[in-house]
A and B are shown apart, each in its own frame.
Chain A
Amino acid sequence: MKYIPTIGIECHVQLCTKTKLFSEVDNDARGKEPNSCVSPVDYALPGMLPRLNGEAIKYAIRAGRAMNCEINASSRFDRKHYFYPDSPKGYQITQFYHPIIGEGYVELPSGTRVRIEHAHLEGDAGKLTHFKDYSLVDLNRVDTPLIEIVSMPDIHSAKDVHDYCKELWRLMCHAGVTNGDLYNGNMRFDVNVSVAEEGSEKLGTRAEIKNLNSFRSAERAAEFEIKRQTKLLEAGEKVKQETRGWDDATGKTSPQRSKEEAKDYRYMPEPDIPPINLTKEFIDTESAKLPLMPMDYRNLFHDIIKEDVLEVLLDYPQLMNKLGEIALSSHLGHTQGRSAELMVLDGTTSAISLTSNLFTSVLLAEEKSVEYLNDLPSAKDLNELAEMNEKKELSSTATKEVFLHLFDPQMKGRGTKQIAKELGLIQENDLGALEKIVDIVLAKPETQKAQIDFKAGEEKVIGFLVGQVMKESHGKANPSSVQEILRKKLK
């Protein structure tokens, strides 16, 4: 008997707005002291009222469009009640009844489509650190804006779990709505796994694995659950509906001790926040701010950049952005099914393939690459670099050298040509000039023996002679032309 897994995923994305969802304090608490990003509103003093951050609404619209979702003109906030020190108000402000983001879908690189059921805005919770006989509460993260993305149970393999999580991460990063810093929990995944006999009408009982913060652990957790549940069913046992935790070290999920069962959140419309009713114009303006998405780039570059290289580059929105600039001469900040009519400009193909290679083989190899990402050379400089490389004015080593100097604070801005000159890396292609140098070398006594040997058919000494000419030319000569001239002269 074959068992088929069915998997749905809930993903929490922290939005990178400047301030929190309901107060004007710094929203990025990374590396800041505990409780240093907390307002009286977040601390939930009596009489404090939420002050909604309009930017979060706009970010939500962009995030929704990135997932091909409907944007609901009317949405409103609700209160979800539970007592825990990470929730100062005693309730979470969320969108239970009327979420802002409606149905849509995410298309994986494999082509699999995962439908989005809806996504809603809500405030994050604080952080507890547990010690032997007490716990400490840090409220920095309280009411950081989140969108919770709820997928349909369209996933049927652990690999697709990985790919879905990763594609979501890319979509959100390209949309520019999150810092995408997984290490700091900017994105967290809850994976709902159930297993049922092949062909059976209804789904099996599901277990939810909460708070996975990497694609890999989401994949491994799903893998483990599928095996665990399949074993149970094969043994004729039942799967318990429960919340389970994942341990990366042991690679196992285990039941989470919690009062989850019989939890009654007593949702209630949030009376302190007026409803949101967006006009079509407002939604369209925000949607238009969505830059090119991974799928657009795949359509754009599939026959220019090798797939594996492209998939690496897609993890870096800034790099894709730059390639987009080169390909489309100017960066397009618009959206909606336009990927179809997008086309790479003639003559930019070689620039794109060279630059994409430099990005992966040179830039990403640098350990300072992260800083570089936010301050990339202009498309013009990169185009010029590709041109010089093509015209053989720069050897491949020289090209890499110049490329790196385009990031050099002292040199950048001077333009590729200028930098190449200053570094003295432009190859000598003028045959007349080269012949003069060759004659000088051939006149030198230390090359006489080599010349005789070569004429005697000693092929390999040509290398030595070329080397001498390169030395004489301080490396500026184009080796292939040098060899040509030598052969002519030593006939």
Chain B
Amino acid sequence: MDIKREDIIHLAELSNFSLPEKEIKSLQTDLQGIIRYISQLDELKVDDVEPTYQVFEMENVWREDEILPQEADREALLALTKEEKDNQIKVPKVL
């Protein structure tokens, strides 16, 4: 399939990138090439094949419902953010 400029802009929105014009151009070329390559799966007939999402033969892996001390507490975590206020993470206003 052909990758158009709008496709790149849509994918950039989904990816949350503010792409400068020149990047839009180069990405259009790159993605076109990559998608052409991966599209070779089109020739594959797999309608009756079950998909594989994990190569891990175990199932029903879960833990007990017990409160445990964690490796990092609130102070350690909030110390990582650029802006903190009243023990909360501060972000610019939502438009």
Chain A interface (Cβ < 8 Å from any Cβ of B): 17-19, 23-26, 33-36, 38-40, 43, 45, 51-57, 83, 85, 128-139, 264, 266, 269, 271, 273-278
Chain B hits for A134, CB < 8 A: 85, 90-93
Q: List 25 A-B contacts (CB under 8 A).
A: A19-B67, A23-B70, A24-B63, A34-B88, A35-B74, A35-B77, A43-B72, A52-B62, A57-B62, A85-B89, A128-B94, A129-B88, A130-B93, A131-B93, A132-B93, A133-B92, A134-B92, A135-B94, A136-B89, A136-B90, A137-B89, A137-B91, A266-B14, A271-B54, A276-B59
Assess A17 versus B65: contact at CB under 8 Å? Given A40-B77, A85-B89, A274-B58. Answer: yes
- CB-defined interface of B1-40 with A at 8 Å, one 1/0 digit per residue? 0000000000000101000000000000000000000000
Chain B hits for A136, CB < 8 A: 85-86, 88-91
17 more A-B contacts (CB under 8 A) besides A23-B70, A33-B74? A18-B66, A19-B66, A24-B68, A24-B70, A25-B70, A35-B88, A38-B74, A39-B72, A52-B63, A133-B92, A134-B90, A134-B92, A134-B93, A136-B88, A275-B54, A276-B59, A277-B59
- CB pair A137–B67 under 8 Å, yes or no, is no
Chain B hits for A133, CB < 8 A: 92-93
- Rounded to whole angstroms, the CA-CA distance of A133 and B94 in the bound complex is 8
Chain A hits for B89, CB < 8 A: 35, 85, 136-137, 139
- CB pair B66–A278 under 8 Å, yes or no, is no
User: Is B71 an interface residue when CB atoms closer than 8 A count as contact?
Assistant: yes
- Rounded to whole angstroms, the CA-CA distance of A128 and B93 in the bound complex is 11
- CB pair A40–B61 under 8 Å, yes or no, is no
Q: Closest Cβ of chain A: how far from B12's Cβ, in Å? A: 13
Chain B hits for A18, CB < 8 A: 65-67
- Rounded to whole angstroms, the CA-CA distance of A274 and B53 in the bound complex is 10
Q: Closest Cβ of chain A: how far from B18's Cβ, in Å? A: 13
- CB pair B58–A83 under 8 Å, yes or no, is no
- Rounded to whole angstroms, the CA-CA distance of A53 and B68 in the bound complex is 12
Chain B hits for A130, CB < 8 A: 93-94
Chain A hits for B16, CB < 8 A: 83
Assess A54 versus B72: contact at CB under 8 Å? Given A266-B14, A274-B54. Answer: no
Chain A hits for B47, CB < 8 A: none
6 closest A-B pairs by CB: A54-B62, A55-B65, A24-B68, A136-B88, A137-B89, A269-B53
- CB pair A24–B66 under 8 Å, yes or no, is yes
How many chain-B residues does the 8 Å CB contact rule pick out? Answer: 33
- Rounded to whole angstroms, the CA-CA distance of A266 and B15 in the bound complex is 11
- CB pair B93–A25 under 8 Å, yes or no, is no
Chain B hits for A137, CB < 8 A: 88-91
Question: In the complex, what residue of chain B is closest to A55 when comparing beta carbons?
Answer: B65
Chain A hits for B86, CB < 8 A: 34, 136
Assess A274 versus B74: contact at CB under 8 Å? Given A24-B66, A130-B94, A135-B94. Answer: no
Q: Closest Cβ of chain B: how far from A429's Cβ, in Å? A: 55
Chain A hits for B61, CB < 8 A: 52, 273-274
- Rounded to whole angstroms, the CA-CA distance of A281 and B53 in the bound complex is 27
Chain B hits for A278, CB < 8 A: 60
- Rounded to whole angstroms, the CA-CA distance of A36 and B93 in the bound complex is 23
- Rounded to whole angstroms, the CA-CA distance of A128 and B92 in the bound complex is 12
Question: In the complex, what residue of chain A is closest to B71 when comparing beta carbons?
Answer: A40
- CB pair A40–B60 under 8 Å, yes or no, is no
- Rounded to whole angstroms, the CA-CA distance of A9 and B95 in the bound complex is 29
User: Is B50 an interface residue when CB atoms closer than 8 A count as contact?
Assistant: no
- Rounded to whole angstroms, the CA-CA distance of A206 and B94 in the bound complex is 28
Assess A274 versus B63: contact at CB under 8 Å? Given A24-B68, A40-B71, A264-B14. Answer: no
Chain B hits for A45, CB < 8 A: 72, 77, 80
- CB pair A54–B63 under 8 Å, yes or no, is yes
Chain A hits for B74, CB < 8 A: 33, 35-36, 38
- CB pair B91–A274 under 8 Å, yes or no, is no
Q: Closest Cβ of chain B: how far from A21's Cβ, in Å? A: 10
Q: Which of B60, B88, B93 contacts A138 (CB under 8 A)? A: B88
Question: In the complex, what residue of chain A is closest to B95 when comparing beta carbons?
Answer: A257
- Rounded to whole angstroms, the CA-CA distance of A274 and B66 in the bound complex is 21
Assess A53 versus B70: contact at CB under 8 Å? Given A85-B89, A136-B90. Answer: no
- Rounded to whole angstroms, the CA-CA distance of A202 and B56 in the bound complex is 46
- Rounded to whole angstroms, the CA-CA distance of A8 and B74 in the bound complex is 40
- CB pair B60–A274 under 8 Å, yes or no, is yes
Q: Which of A26, A38, A53, A131 contacts B63 (CB under 8 A)? A: A53
- CB pair B87–A33 under 8 Å, yes or no, is yes
User: Is B64 an interface residue when CB atoms closer than 8 A count as contact?
Assistant: yes
Question: In the complex, what residue of chain B is closest to A257 when comparing beta carbons?
Answer: B95
- Rounded to whole angstroms, the CA-CA distance of A128 and B89 in the bound complex is 9
Q: Closest Cβ of chain B: how far from A154's Cβ, in Å? A: 34
- Rounded to whole angstroms, the CA-CA distance of A245 and B61 in the bound complex is 39
Assess A85 versus B91: contact at CB under 8 Å? Given A23-B70, A54-B64, A276-B60. Answer: yes
Chain B hits for A23, CB < 8 A: 70
- CB pair B14–A25 under 8 Å, yes or no, is no
- CB pair A25–B67 under 8 Å, yes or no, is yes
Chain A hits for B88, CB < 8 A: 34-35, 129, 136-138
